[in-house]
Every structure is written in structure tokens, then in C-alpha cells.
Amino acid sequence: MKIEAITTLEECLDGVSIKEYRLDGEVQRNEVDRFASGNRLEYFEFARPFYKIISEGRFTMKGVVGNRSVQVVYPSFNAALEKEVVNRLSND
């Protein structure tokens, strides 16, 4: 999976940053498991399955299986952490 676009949705004065990563394909369950590797995964079996991946104090990633975008909330944004998230989302 490749990232096609990164959009900053919100940047707060307290350092919180919310970004949306647009992918070149739809997120499937196996990719959610790969994204979550080493972190806490909350998976909800709704009509359109929703997931939340929590890396305590670092980021929260959330999205819907079948969508082409993922939102990431960084409580304290830094470029090195975003690079880690980008690598997690990409399957290079």
C-alpha cells in the first residue's frame, strides 16, 4: 500500500495534530492487523468495521475497513514519529 496524499486536518496550540493519510487502495482487515503490530487494537464489527489503534502517548490511528483513508491523532507531533507512521502504513 502506498500513501497518495497527507492532509493536516487540525493543528492545536497544545501540540495535538490530526492528519489524514490517503492510500492507493482500500484498507483490509489484514492491513489493520499489520498497522497495529505491537500496539493496542480495538476492532468493532459494525456494518462497516471500524478500528482504532492506540500507541500510548504516541498516536491513535483510526479508520473504517474498506476506506482509502486513515486518520492519525498525534498528541505531540514530531517528524520522526510521522515517519514511523508512514512506514507502518506503507508496505515497502
Could you tell me the CATH number of the domain that includes residue 58? 3.30.310
Share of the chain above pLDDT 90, in %: 82
Residues 41-71 pLDDT 10s: 999 999 999 999 999 999 999 999 999 999 9
- Residues 4, 23: contact at Cβ < 8 Å? yes
Domain residues for 10? 3-89
Stated pTM of the model: 0.91
**How many folded domains does the chain comprise?**
1
What DSSP line would sit under 7-60, residue for residue?
EEEEE-TTS-EEEEEEESS---HHHHHHHHTTSEEEEE-SSS-EEEEEETTTEE
Q: Report how far residue 52's alpha carbon sits from residue 41's, in angstroms, rounded to the nearest whole number.
A: 6
The predicted pLDDT at position 92 comes to 56
Q: How many CA atoms lie within 13 A of 50 on its CB side?
A: 6
